[in-house]
Structure 1
């Protein structure tokens, strides 16, 4: 079974699933869908720590490597998610190199960081788990999604310990005075994304981006993104159910009003 780091460093584009619903059963279902990895979202998802742990357990049953998007760039959020068994952390709203450094400190054991020793689930099924092994296995992705993040992107992504950039297109648009959307249509919005991708290439980190469906995934993979999210469990459930109901009732297809999370 490949680790998250091995999966992302394989050289091929990867497709991830996204868990917003606080349910181990839903997490297990997502883990059985064939995704390369699954992220449990504790920032904008409805998931607290008490649900995070059994969701990571459910995903472990399926052998799917897992990210956790933490609520904020705080050591307790990062350390507890890693101790619970996450192989990777996605940190929102990384605006400066100092933000990136603080995230690395929390995610890495000494001497690379200040992570406290207590891998209560992280060491499960890992032979000879040690601080060095934990540091090597842990993947850290910085979200670039603000004007400050774009301005400082090279300094952020060149920070030792940052393995990937993860773009939130909606917040990226919102902060630049555009309509928040994952279906990027404005030329200026796309140019911002391309500028972050270029920085990923310069700094030799994995380029990741949040998507809203198959066509968007293919669009960004064609440009060189190695880490793409297909959709959330909530959005997939609502979209599939709505389509089926409309087909059965003879209603015309129309937008569901989805905000891309549900």
Structure 2
């Protein structure tokens, strides 16, 4: 079975850097997979992507050095199983609010007798190899999102759940839940304290902790704070920022230097 680069990062004691895809396109997924990131998350929750587009994106990512992950829209066992069968090597599950929900997340992504994942790994066998079923449970990464007041209240119990590899903080939703407003890099002391509580809970139970960031600089800071799965923004946000910057430069950058070439 192919190695999971995120687990390799963790085994080496360093943070995994992940891309985040909101645009449902296999070509852009392939491009991002070659940028040097450790993994690429296809976002089925808020991204402009459906399951059929996701399959093409996973195929594209599979041709690159990056490891394919998916964020599912909800704690839906049949969809979780389908995402894994399609070749995802990691799953980010949103709005996990209790240890019971965390346990269901683990069971849905684990084969019997410890779990309830149904057999049928289709693309999993193609990407993961003939020994996929024997090693899938230990190779896949399961990240439960903490982004609600209920999830924060239960974060210690969620982190204590056997089979959960770690938690992933959604800072915008967590800020909204705490009546502090949405921010990808919160400055509100209540949200800062909540994030610190999540990190402490993960570390206390030997689990990993990730977070969405607005930039690479913030991601580097988060890594220094103890996060070991960082996302330096999404493809849609980065595209908008890059094109906007180039457009402003085109309008405000001054006269273009003359060229010796003669127009055709």
Report the TM-score when normalising by structure 2: 0.92
Shift of 1:130: 4.8
String of CA shifts for 1:61-90, please: whole Å, max 9, x gaps. 112101100010011110000000000000
Deviation digits for residues 117-139 of structure 1, max 9, x if unmatched?
A: 00101122544425331111111
* Cα distance in 1 for residues equivalent to 2:53 and 2:130: 28
Match in the other structure for 1:129: 131
| Alpha-carbon separation, structure 2, partners of 1:125 and 1:47 | 21
Asked whether 1:9 is paired with 2:11, we answer yes
Contact 1:110 1:131 in 2 (8 A): no
User: Structure 1 residue 212 and structure 2 residue 214: aligned?
Assistant: yes
Q: Deviations for 1:84-127, whole angstroms, at most 9, x for unmatched residues?
A: 00000000000000100111111000112100000101122544
Structure 1 residues 146, 244: closer, same or farther in 2, change over 3 A? same
- CA–CA distance in structure 2, aligned partners of residues 91 and 126 of structure 1: 21
In the alignment, what sits opposite 1:255? none
Aligned twin of 2:41: 39
- Secondary structure of the corresponding residue to residue 62 of structure 1: coil
List structure 1 runs of 4+ shifted beyond 6 angstroms.
none
Question: Cα RMSD (Å) of the superposition?
Answer: 1.3
Structure 2 segments unaligned to the other structure (5+ residues): 254-264
Residue 17 of structure 1 contacts residue 39 of structure 1 at CA under 8 Å; is this kept in 2? yes
Matches within 5 A, 1:186-201: 186-201=188-203
Deviations 1:168-198, CA, capped at 9 Å, x for gaps = 0000000010111102111221111011000
What is the match of residue 249 of structure 1? 251
Counterpart Cα distance in 2 of 1:223 and 1:110: 37
Match of 2:65 among 50, 63, 66: 63
* Distance in 2 between residues matched to 1:194 and 1:94, nearest whole Å: 18
Deviation at 1:16, TM superposition (A): 0.8
Q: Distance in 1 between matches of 2:42 and 2:56?
A: 11
Aligned to 2:184: 182
Q: Distance in 2 between matches of 1:201 and 1:160?
A: 14
Gaps of 5+ in 1: 252-262
Of structures 1 and 2, the larger Rg is shown by 2
Q: 2: distance between equivalents of 1:230 and 1:97?
A: 28
Give the length in aligned residue pairs: 251
Q: State the TM-score, normalizing by the size of structure 1.
A: 0.92
1:146 is aligned to 148
